[in-house]
Structure 1
Amino acid sequence: MEKRTDRKGRLLHNGESQRKDGRYAYKYIENGKPKFIYSWKLVSTDRVPKGKRDCVALRDMIRAIQKDLDDGIDTTGGKMTVCQLYQRYINSRANVRKATVQGRNNLMEALKNDSLGNVNIDKLKLSEAKAWAYRMKEKYSFSTIKNMKRSLNATFYLAIQDDLLRKNPFDFALTDVIENDTKTKEALTEEQTKALLDFVKIDCTYKAYYPAIVILLNTGLRISEMCGLTLSDLDFDNRMIDINHQLKKDKDGYYIEPPKSDSGYRKVPMTDLVYEALQEVIRSQNNAQPIVVDGYSTFIFLNKQGYPMYNACYTTTFRNLVKKYRKITQKELPNITPHILRHTFCTNMANRGMTPTNLQYVMGHKNITMTLGYYAHGGYQSAQAEMQRLTA
């Protein structure tokens, strides 16, 4: 059989041909269907015709395709866009919480509004993924971008498992691209805690929140766990709080979720301060509405209308509380959130010598590493007291 040659007299391999316009073509079979690729160059040293864009040589493309076929890579899947791949990832992990669904929706919207979303996954380079992260810093915080990148990293890992890709373009350290400008959350000092409680206790507007602040400072509960407390969760005889669910609210209304992790299921001891604060909350309830949320009722913490309190209520209230404190006292007080109060409790317990395992249990931390981080918040005074105690 006569071998085919190109216009330069070079022998063409099986599947290779040259079209009338000078372009080279290669035909191959994948999954029983014929596929074609084209290039103006047969080998990398060829020059493209005048007026034509430079391109990858046909035989370089053939070698890449053959390697993919040999390794079982589905080359057709590479034509999927980043948005389409992310939707596949979402569909493969559908059993998630409402907060996760909202986060996924936000990321999908961000992808659709950026050029990255329409890029074919087999064309996406590491440099382009990094450029995306850099663009996102104009719109989002470092922690948000970090979460988005983590999701995309998992998404492209799925593509590798499905034999659609060979490499993960999101496998890079985010701090190589943008600075971590997240402000470290500082626990309140004893002086700041006392100043806060003294002010709230006598303020006509905010004294109603005094018991809640005391409870957060002395239990370390997550705010959604405290908001979800019902009468049946409180065992006053044994001085114990049973944490077995969270109360949250979004645009669709209230809803119940299980604790953040399996470690979130726990029984938190009531100190005398907490015992008295809970009794005060129950005594001061007015106009309680007969609301039932996913089977839960008789909620403890209610707003003025008699409906359950939720995270955003306390966040806004605490922000306004600090503004009023600064205005009236002309003194500084750091911004306070429910999480800062939880952070303060954990730091105080660590500094007072509570064992890491017990503190991990009370906090409901999934990982002991997270708990151990609070033992690094000690200062001179706590170090001095600890040394005196140990050497006494």
Structure 2
Amino acid sequence: MATIRKRSDSYQIRVSCGYDANGKQVTRTKSWKPKPNMTKKQIEKELNRQAVLFEEACMNGLVTSSVKFCDFIEQWKDGYAKKNYKLMTIDTMQHIMKRVNEELGHMRLSKISRRHIQAFINSLSDGNEKYKPLGPKTVRNYINYTSSIFEYAIRLNLVSNNPCSKIILPALKKVEREVYTLTEAQTFIDTLIQKAPIVFQTYFILAIYGGLRRGELCGLTWNDIDFENEIISIDKALYHISNKGSTLDTPKSASSNRSLKLPSEVFEFFRKLKIFYENEKCRLGSYWNDTEFVFKDEDGNSLSPLKPNRWLHRFCENENLKYVTPHSFRHLCASLMIDSGASVKTVQACLGHSDASTTLNIYAHSFAKAQAKASEAVASNFKLC
């Protein structure tokens, strides 16, 4: 409700608009001066009308904030991002916000229009003397975070609309994933078993058979390995955070918490790995850090999520194998499941996708091939004239 104060020959109308991210009350004020010939009753009536109109304008976000965008970004980080985003997402966000701040941070929050956002998006896509052009998917990450800031500002009644809406974004390009064929995968596995350390043998065999993300692989502990029932449980992930190193957190989404039944052969690698660690513990003595992680570095500490990719690149180069990213083994696992006739729901559950549509969108081509194969199987039973 608006409050009114008499100030010499004018009146101050004050409206409370809630609280900001730091718990400080947000208020808006307006001065109104009556005309000289107005009676006391007329002044009272018009003053109440002005107070009602001003309060409505404040509640509808029509009275804008003078806060700078760079300052509000910090409020958004503390009041929203740190409470709702995972550590890895916050780490990515920090890099994105640096560029957003450079382009928009000097402006008033309320003065940023759709035209400014569109110019920012275009500069991301086109690049400039300081920055190279960014791909369509990366540009979308920038606009998603920026949009989240404005949505938070709307909730605090600091602005009335989101200038990120209806922005023209660069078209997404369909990128063909580099995945091993069955023959290439078998060659890789054979070479891996013959020449790789047991740590990386186990890591990549599990990546192929289980389709785990790299953070999920590095976050596994021995408590997650059920040797008796041949099941692994995934309920955490290890992420690389800038200036912090490896940090344990929950997986990507709630549906990423899952259990996978795996073949006996995979558990043989786990057993060999356990024996290897026992030998290393005896060999290194006090220099060995006896952590519970399944995948360890040379000193017993957790294996950095960045290390398998670097190792794989060198290994493929040395052994004259085609290089694919560690994440491609997740796609290989999914493709093989689909090819074997697994349903969308089964693949979704195994990969830990939060929604079946995600599975369908990513592996649409594989499902189309499986459907075509099924149609051919039906057709093989009949003859058409």
Range class of TM-score, shorter chain: 0.7 to 0.9
Give the drift of 1:35. 5.2
- Is 1:187–1:341's contact at 8 Å kept on the other side of the alignment? yes
1:317 paired to 2:311? yes
Distance 1:247 1:359, change over 3 A: same
TM superposition shift of 1:318: 1.7
Aligned to 2:74: 87
- TM normalised by structure 2 equals 0.73
Contact kept, 8 Å, 1:225 with 1:243, in 2: the verdict is yes
1:107 maps to 96
**Is 1:299 matched up with 2:308?**
no
Relative contact order (alpha carbons < 8 A, sep ≥ 6): 1 or 2 greater?
Answer: 2
For the 8 Å contact 1:214–1:273, the answer to whether it is kept is no
Match 1:198 to one of 185, 190, 195: 190
- Structure 1 231/169 Cα, relative in aligned 2: closer, same or farther at 3 Å? same
Alpha-carbon distance in 1 for matches of 2:56, 2:372: 67
Structure 1 range deviating more: 216-225 or 254-263:
254-263
**Secondary structure, counterpart of 2:59 in structure 1:** coil
In the TM superposition, what are the counterparts of 1:66-81 in structure 2 within 5 Å? 69-70=56-57, 72-74=59-61, 77-81=64-68
Q: Answer whether contact 1:82 1:120 (CA < 8 A) is retained.
A: yes
The aligned runs of 1:164-179 (5 Å cut-off) are 164-173=158-167, 176-179=168-171
Deviation of 1:234 after TM superposition, in Å, equals 0.9
Report the CA distance between 1:179 and its aligned residue: 4.2
Given candidates 267, 275, 278, the residue that maps to 1:275 is 267
Structure 2: 5+ residue stretches without partners? 1-10, 16-27, 33-52, 282-286
Alignment of 1:238 with 2:229, yes or no, is yes
Partner of residue 257, structure 2: 265
RMSD, matched Cα: 3.2
CA distance in 2, matches of 1:278, 1:108: 42
Question: Can you give the 5+ residue segments of structure 1 that lack an aligned partner in the other structure?
Answer: 1-26, 37-65
Partner of 2:86: 97
TM-score, normalized by length of structure 1?
A: 0.72
Shift in Å, 1:247: 2.2
Q: CA deviation at 1:82?
A: 2.0
Contact 1:347 1:374 in 2 (8 A): no
Contact 2:180 2:332 in 1 (8 A): yes
How far apart are residue 342 of structure 1 and its match? 0.9
SS at match of 1:241: strand
Residue 361 (structure 1) shift: 1.6
Q: How far apart, CA to CA, are the structure 2 residues paired with 1:385 and 1:379?
A: 10
Aligned length: 325
Which letter does structure 2 place at the counterpart of 1:273? E
Q: Shift of residue 169 of structure 1?
A: 1.0
Match of 2:172 in 1: 180
The answer to whether the Cα contact below 8 Å between 2:335 and 2:363 also exists between their aligned partners in 1 is yes
